Amino acid sequence: MTWNGEHTAGLEHAWSKFRRKAFALYSLSQQQDRSASGAALKKVLGPFDLVLLGIGGIIGAGEQSTSCIGMTYELVLWCYGSHT
């Protein structure tokens, strides 16, 4: 796949749209108008999605703590001269 002007222009358009939407600043009156008009966030995650997200978080936290414990143990062994 080659990157020509068409692909680059599409990426630049997507990036500028993201910046406008993600970092938009609204005054208090604009926010109140938006909420009064019914513009709200949509619920897109169902119960099954939330359960899987929670399980993933638990597994990820367990992996991090296990790796930290292992690194700490190796550091203690190294500091006390058990290394060769």
Q: Identify the helix (H) or strand (E) that includes residue 53.
A: helix 47-79
Q: What is the pLDDT of residues 51-83, one digit of tens each?
A: 999 888 888 777 666 666 666 767 777 777 655
Structural domain boundaries in the chain: 43-84
pLDDT-derived band at 6 (thresholds 50, 70, 90) equals low
pLDDT, residue 17, reads: 82
Q: Identify the helix (H) or strand (E) that includes residue 9.
A: helix 5-22
pTM: 0.36
- In whole angstroms, how far apart are CA 76 and each of 23, 35, 64, 67, 68? 45, 56, 18, 14, 12
Cα dihedral sign for 39, 44, 46, 50? negative
Structure tokens at 75: 């550091």
